[in-house]
């Protein structure tokens, strides 16, 4: 076998190996979760209603901010034990609307900045001001289920848990991109279920995540995306970060694929940066399966797999130039596979391609352009007042 065919099959082998190990691992632990579910439901409940602070960073959210505040006011969690902190750096009427609500509800607090802060600095400032024993990270464009905070807080009765993250419910599943995002979320939720059962999940959703207040103290100078960092930091301190599907929140997916790729690219870039910061946790027994399996596999999925796919395509083009016969056979097999997958699920194909392209774009921005990704650079079509 020549050098080009060898490298071609090597890159394909790396891709297949990572997906195979990854798939087998999450399938095993995902099924294990189902076997344990009945036992978990039999556990006696204990009354636990600590003071909770919800922190929401806002930047030019005048279209939906009233809807957001009404959503928090309608939660089932006792209002006398709930604090709502809005950290705002808007240039529109957002702070005025929040201020108006704060005159009617004493548990609404506005922290105002006259300069652009960005997501993580805003979250950190809000958490510093929070009085709650449990702090809930939230987003202006997501709307909590009425029992989301109650369900989230209940998990903290287990002293081993430091972070709890919730389930994203897509509202516009009747649209093409919304349908694709819903498919992605189903896989994503199964992954987080498996990781939580294995040890701790790497994927934290800043739209609905609870954290013990004591864990915030060590992150007052964090430059990476705050939500994912808090999960890694909690595990580093000996706590678990878990996914709970009962902690539901609702939001709109972007209207177009280009907006969705932009959203995924920002998210992926932040994940890569956080993984790099906490690379010292990889392959360390002291962090259990999180250090030995979860972090290395996620690094491979976020960085190695998209690079391997790109390398495979480049090598295939080169092979076609030097060996037209073998190249034509491989292109033929690839074409048949793509057509088959498109017939089975066009949504699945485009979801996969969008995801891998976003990862490559994020990798390029992190390594070569050094672009920052912490500003609240929202996708406008995800903000809908109705």
> Could you tell me how far CA 217 lies from the centroid of its own chain?
22
What is the model's pLDDT at position 14? 87
DSSP 130-171: ---SEEEEE-TT-EE-TTHHHHHHHGGGSTTEEEEEEEEEES
Q: What percent of the chain has pLDDT over 90?
A: 58
Whether 38 shows a pLDDT value over 60: the answer reads no
pLDDT classification of 386: cutoffs 50, 70, 90: low
Compute the average pLDDT of residues 278-297: 95
pLDDT of residue 227: 87
In the block, tokens 């750096």 appear at 89
Tokens coding 235: 């595990």
Structure tokens at 209: 């995540």
Beta bridge partners of 136: 54, 210
Write out the two tokens for 173: 């599943």
271 Cβ contact list (under 8 Å, min separation 6): 225, 228, 298, 302, 362
Establish how many alpha carbons lie within 13 A of residue 236's alpha carbon, considering only the half-sphere containing its beta carbon: 18
Over 70: is that where the pLDDT of 103 sits? yes
Output the pLDDT for position 62. 95
Architecture of domain 1-386: Alpha-Beta Complex (3.90)
**pLDDT digit string, tens, across residues 44-101:** 455 789 999 999 999 999 999 999 999 999 999 999 999 999 999 999 999 999 999 9
pLDDT at 185: 93
How far apart (Å, rounded) are the C-alpha atoms in residues 273 and 268? 9
User: Which of 144-148, 184-188, 348-352 holds the top average pLDDT?
Assistant: 144-148
The C-alpha atoms of residue 271 and residue 298 are separated, in whole angstroms, by: 9
Q: Give the closest residue to 360 by CA, choosing from 316, 320, 305, 322.
A: 305
Give the start-to-end residue ranges of the domains of the chain: 1-386
Question: What 3-state DSSP class applies to 211?
Answer: strand
- pLDDT for residue 157 is more than 60: yes
Q: At what angle are helices 324-364 and 176-198 packed, to 10 degrees?
A: 80
| Per-residue model confidence (pLDDT) at position 220 | 65
Residue listed under structure tokens 């960085």: 303
Dump pLDDT digits (tens) for 213-253.
988 876 766 556 888 899 999 999 999 999 999 999 999 99
Checking if the pLDDT of 294 tops 50, the result is yes
- pTM, two decimals, is 0.89
pLDDT at 1 over 60: no
Report the SS3 class of residue 57.
strand
What pLDDT does 42 receive?
43
Instruction: Output the CA angle 178-179-184, nearest 5 degrees.
Output: 95
CB neighbour list of residue 327: distance below 8 Å, 6 or more residues apart: 316, 319, 320, 321
Supply the mean pLDDT for the chain: 89
pLDDT tens-place string over residues 316-360: 899 888 888 888 988 898 889 888 888 888 888 888 888 889 999
Select from 165, 147, 247, 241 the least CA-distant residue to 210. 165
Q: Given this model, what pLDDT does residue 34 score?
A: 57
Considering only residues 327 and 287, tell me which one the structure prediction assigns the higher pLDDT. 287
Q: What pLDDT is recorded for position 240?
A: 97
């Amino acid at each position: 076998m020549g050098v080009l065919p060898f490298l071609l099959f090597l890159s394909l082998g790396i891709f297949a190996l990572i997906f195979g190990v990854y798939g087998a691992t999450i399938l095993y632990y995902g099924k294990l979760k189902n076997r344990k579910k009945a036992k978990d439901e039999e556990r006696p409940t204990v009354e636990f209603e600590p003071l909770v602070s919800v922190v929401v960073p806002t930047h030019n959210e005048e279209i939906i901010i009233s809807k957001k505040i009404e959503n928090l006011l309608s939660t089932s969690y006792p209002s006398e034990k709930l604090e709502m902190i809005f950290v705002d750096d808007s240039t529109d009427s957002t702070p005025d609307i929040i201020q108006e609500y704060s005159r009617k509800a004493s548990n609404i607090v506005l922290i105002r900045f006259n300069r652009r802060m960005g997501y993580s600095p805003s979250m950190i400032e809000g958490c510093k001001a929070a009085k709650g024993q449990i702090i809930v990270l939230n987003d202006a464009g997501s709307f909590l289920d009425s029992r989301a905070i109650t369900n989230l807080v209940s998990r903290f009765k287990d002293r081993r848990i430091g972070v709890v993250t919730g389930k994203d419910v897509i509202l516009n599943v009747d649209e093409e991109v919304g349908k694709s995002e819903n498919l992605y979320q189903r896989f994503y939720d199964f992954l987080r279920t498996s990781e939580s059962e294995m040890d701790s999940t790497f994927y934290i959703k800043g739209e609905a995540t609870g954290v013990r207040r004591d864990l915030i103290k060590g992150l007052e100078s964090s430059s990476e995306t705050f939500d994912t960092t808090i999960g890694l930091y909690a595990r580093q301190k000996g706590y678990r970060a878990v996914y709970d599907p009962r902690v539901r929140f609702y939001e709109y997916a972007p209207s177009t694929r280009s907006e969705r790729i932009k959203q995924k690219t920002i998210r992926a870039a932040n994940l890569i940066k956080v993984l790099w910061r906490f690379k010292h946790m990889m392959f360390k027994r002291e962090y259990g399966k999180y250090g030995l399996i979860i972090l290395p596999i996620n690094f491979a999925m976020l960085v190695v797999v998209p690079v391997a796919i790109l390398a495979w395509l480049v090598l295939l083009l080169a092979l076609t130039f030097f060996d037209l016969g073998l190249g034509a056979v491989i292109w033929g097999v690839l074409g048949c596979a793509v057509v088959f997958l498109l017939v089975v699920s066009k949504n699945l194909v485009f979801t996969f391609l969008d995801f891998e392209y976003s990862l490559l774009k994020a990798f390029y921005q992190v390594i070569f352009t050094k672009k920052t990704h912490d500003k609240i650079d929202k996708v406008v079509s995800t903000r809908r007042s109705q």
